[in-house]
Amino acid sequence: MKSDPLFIPRSSLVSRAVRYTAWGLSGKTLAIVLLLLLLGSLVGSFYLNQASQTTAAGLEIVRLTRGREYWRQENADLRRQIAIAGSLRRVTTRAAELGFVRPEAVEYLVVRSPVDETVDEAEPPSAESPWDTRAVPDVTETVHWWDELVAQMGSWADGGP
């Protein structure tokens, strides 16, 4: 017979070591606590991630709003500069500096439109309207042209010449 200095059955040691931890909790309880701790930290990290993204978006909105206000102010300043530069007093002063003078007599030239040669030359344009309405082409000519084009397309669709 073999003599062992101390014989302790393995099954009782292992089962006792696995069943209880140093805090007196079973392995199942410890696993549940660790799982809850892991889930809690996961939820907390999702919350912190969402909060940081929301804060970043808010800061971006503030930055863009400030930029928009800056460009609105810049636009208003440029409009003011344009109004000053385009004022009648400034333009006449600048024209005088460049050597321009006011005309003593103004002569207007009437230019006839070559669009319609069938215009009656005996009837001059009225003094009330500066536009020569006689040069406007007849709308019925355009309609006839369109009708001919539609008829030709229709004959092609039917297989004709």
- Of the candidates 73, 95, 74, the residue with the CA atom closest to the CA atom of residue 85: 95
Tokens 């636009």 correspond to: 75
pLDDT of residue 21: 56
- Per the structure, how many domains does the chain have? 1
pLDDT of residue 31: 86
Instruction: Please report whether residue 27 resides in a domain.
Output: yes
Which are the contacts of 120, defined by CB distance < 8 A and separation ≥ 6? 134
pLDDT of residue 71: 96
**% of the chain exceeding 90 in pLDDT:** 35
Mean pLDDT across the stretch 132-139? Answer: 56
User: If you average pLDDT over every residue of the chain, what do you get?
Assistant: 78
Instruction: Please report whether residue 23 resides in a domain.
Output: yes
pLDDT tens digit sequence for 28-50: 888 898 999 999 999 999 999 99
Judge whether residue 98 has pLDDT over 80.
yes
From CA 110, how far away is CA 135, in angstroms rounded? 13
Instruction: Please report whether residue 156 resides in a domain.
Output: yes
Instruction: Please report whether residue 102 resides in a domain.
Output: yes
Which are the contacts of 19, defined by CB distance < 8 A and separation ≥ 6? 26, 27
Judge whether residue 51 has pLDDT over 70.
yes
Q: Provide the CB-side half-sphere exposure for 96 (13 A, CA).
A: 5
Please state the separation of Cα 144 from the chain's center in Å: 45
80 lies in which domain range? 11-122+134-161
Instruction: Please report whether residue 4 resides in a domain.
Output: no
**Where does the pLDDT of residue 80 fall: very low under 50, low under 70, confident under 90, or very high at 90 and above?**
very high
Instruction: Please report whether residue 127 resides in a domain.
Output: no
**Where does the pLDDT of residue 158 fall: very low under 50, low under 70, confident under 90, or very high at 90 and above?**
confident
Instruction: Please report whether residue 2 resides in a domain.
Output: no
Judge whether residue 90 has pLDDT over 70.
yes
Q: Which two tokens stand for residue 142?
A: 């355009």
Instruction: Please report whether residue 128 resides in a domain.
Output: no
Question: Contact 115/135 with Cβ under 8 angstroms?
Answer: yes
